[in-house]
Amino acid sequence: MSPEPPVTLAVAGAGNRGGDVYAAYALRHPDQVRVVAVAEPDPDRRRRLAAAHGIPDHRCFEDWRALLLEPRLADGVVIATPDGMHVEPALAALMRGYDVLLEKPIAAEPREILRLQSAARDAEGTVTVAHVLRYAPFFQKIKELLDQGAVGRLVLMEHQENIGYWHFAHSYVRGNWRQSAVGPMILAKACHDLDLLRWFAGAPCAEVASFGELVHFRPENAPPGAPDRCTDGCPAAGRCPFDAVAMYVDGMDGRSGWPVSVVTPELDREARLEALRRGPYGRCVYRCDNDVVDHQAAILRFANRVVASLTVTAFTTANTRTLRILGTAGELKGHLDRGEIHVRAFRPGVAETPAGDGGWEEIRVPVASGHGGGDQGLMRDFVRRLRLRRQGLRPGEPLTSLRETVESHLMALAAERSRLEGRVVSVAELRAGP
């Protein structure tokens, strides 16, 4: 019996996520999936992806509209266009009968999010939103422990998104997500985390309170004499933690992938310097056109009376996620990058003291690159679902179902409304409209 041929993908958006992550999965697993079409306005990105995957010219498009005007070209489509351009191509893909892998966030407006949800109910194809953390073994183990009752009834969750000072400067000061017109920071960065909290809670979120500000990346905090660009002879060069030359040319441990690959695909020093002289990533972080907050905290109350706190901050050295989960029969602590989960059940006569560990059980989970292995897990599951569909079987809802994803997006937008208006916001408000 001959092996089943690989499923096929079209990719709309050949940037970091679409090209370097999702399409790259096919290069590592050619027996499972092939990329057969690409839509990308940047000619260099389009050519690179086409060359890597052997895509013929007539399957290369400058715009997602041209791709989705064609008869269905593949089993599934990856939509990794810029954040403000997710809903329209997703709707067009559903009309063509595609199964859709949609990069997050869906949209920054509740009505657009709900419009896609409404359209997907009657569509032949399905929408899988790229909330990759649900597919990471670390968070899947935590979910398993909670479902097994490791902490008893869940009461309280404390989750921290440690963005890392350099990552925040790259993405939210110099980069594509620096302006609230694109969407609030808590949606762009932390809808992953809100999705996890919704998953762990096992119930919809009822209301949100949130606070946050832009306190540091402002003109008044620039070093004396700092020019507009780090390449223009800044007197703080070598001392400023946000020195672009140190980050993208001399530092990053010689890294050539993300985030350096976002600045320029060229690896030599002069090409990197030239990209910093001309492009957005060479700008002084105190003289950019950014307006999103650099820290935000939210308190969330779920329908089953679970309470959670989420802190999202630029001001950390580590770029990871940490959490603490408290229940009626125990507690759990986790550190993503270390792959460490500690669980302690409440027991008679056992207390945590300086001299002992107080009965903590340590669980180690292997952590891979790409959101703790979540990128790979998402693609593996999406390909599996495409194969089931090709066989005429119903794959059921994805782990990141559109229904729950919509809820986590509304949680983020409720948090932003709370921050701006200084009040507790019901998530139901977002469903009801402006």
The confidence band for 258, taking pLDDT boundaries of 50, 70 and 90, is confident
Tell me how many domains the chain contains.
3
pLDDT, position 1: 53
- Give the other-Cβ count within 10 Å of 78's Cβ: 31
Asked if the structure places residue 154 within a domain, the reply is: yes
pLDDT higher than threshold 80 for residue 251: no
Question: Could you give the CA distance from residue 248 to residue 274 in angstroms, rounded to a whole number?
Answer: 11
Q: Answer yes or no: do 30 and 162 share one domain.
A: no
Same domain flag for 83 and 139: no
* Rounded Cα–Cα distance for residues 342 and 360 (Å): 6
H/E stretch holding 309 reads strand 307-313
373-396 residue pLDDT tens: 999 999 999 999 999 999 999 888
The two tokens of residue 366 are: 């292997």
Asked if the structure places residue 95 within a domain, the reply is: yes
Name the band, by pLDDT with cuts 50, 70 and 90, for residue 197: very high
Is the model more confident about 402 or about 255?
A: 402
Domain endpoint, select from 282, 305, 321: 282
CATH number at residue 417: 3.30.360.10
The pLDDT value given to residue 252: 62
Alpha carbon 432 to its chain centroid, in Å, reads: 26
Please indicate, yes or no, whether residues 16 and 88 belong to a single structural domain of this protein: yes
Verify that 348 and 307 share a domain, yes or no: yes
- Report yes or no: 272 and 264 within 8 Å, Cβ to Cβ: yes
Higher pLDDT, 259 or 354: 259
Same domain, 106 and 141: no
CB 46 within 8 A of CB 14: yes
> 238 and 203 in one domain?
no
User: Is the residue at 306 inside a domain?
Assistant: yes
Task: Flag whether pLDDT at 352 surpasses 80.
Answer: no
- The residue whose two tokens read 């092939």 is 34
Q: What is the pLDDT of residues 146-196, one digit of tens each?
A: 999 999 999 999 999 999 999 999 999 999 999 999 999 999 999 999 999
pTM of the predicted structure, to 2 decimals: 0.93
Q: How many CB atoms lie within 10 A of CB 233?
A: 10
Structure tokens at 284: 């002084």
Instruction: Give the integer Cα–Cα distance in Å for 192 and 408.
Output: 8
Q: Which pLDDT belongs to residue 145?
A: 98
Query: Any idea what the CATH number is for the domain that residue 29 is in?
Result: 3.40.50.720
Are 264 and 319 part of one and the same domain? no
Q: What are the pLDDT digits (tens) for 7-34?
A: 999 999 999 999 999 999 999 999 999 9
Determine the structural domain holding residue 417 and report its residue range. 134-217+291-370+408-432
pLDDT in tens, 123-144: 989 999 999 999 999 999 999 9
Q: What band does 254 get if pLDDT is binned at 50, 70 and 90?
A: low
Amino acid letter for position 304: N
Asked if residue 390 belongs to a domain, the reply is: no
Are 156 and 13 in the same domain? no
One-character DSSP codes across 332-393: EEEETTTTEEEEEE--TT---BTTB-TTPEEEE----STTTTHHHHHHHHHHHHHHHHHTT-
Q: Check pLDDT > 60 for residue 107.
A: yes
Residue 305 pLDDT grade (very low, low, confident, very high; cuts 50, 70, 90): very high
> What would the two tokens of residue 397 be?
């809802």
Residue 434 has pLDDT above 80, yes or no: no
Of 129, 154, 185, the one marking the end of a domain is 129
Residue type, 267: L
Cα(120)–Cα(106) distance, integer angstroms: 13
User: In what order do the strands lie in the sheet containing 76-79?
Assistant: 60-61, 33-39, 7-12, 76-79, 99-102, 127-129
Amino acid at the residue 151: V
Residues 189 and 235 reside in one and the same domain: no
Q: Please say whether the beta carbons of 201 and 195 come within 8 A.
A: no
Tell me, yes or no, whether 383 lies in a domain: no
Same domain, yes or no: 192 and 246: no
> Is 395 among the domain residues?
no
pLDDT score of 127: 95
Residues 55 and 114 in one domain: yes
Flag whether pLDDT at 355 surpasses 50: no
Residue 366: cis peptide before it, omega within 30 degrees of 0: no
What's the whole-number average pLDDT of the chain?
94
Q: Is residue 79 part of a domain?
A: yes
Same domain for 43 and 11:
yes
229 DSSP 8-state letter: B
Give the residue from 230, 264, 282 where a domain finishes: 282
Answer yes or no: is 397 within a domain.
Answer: no
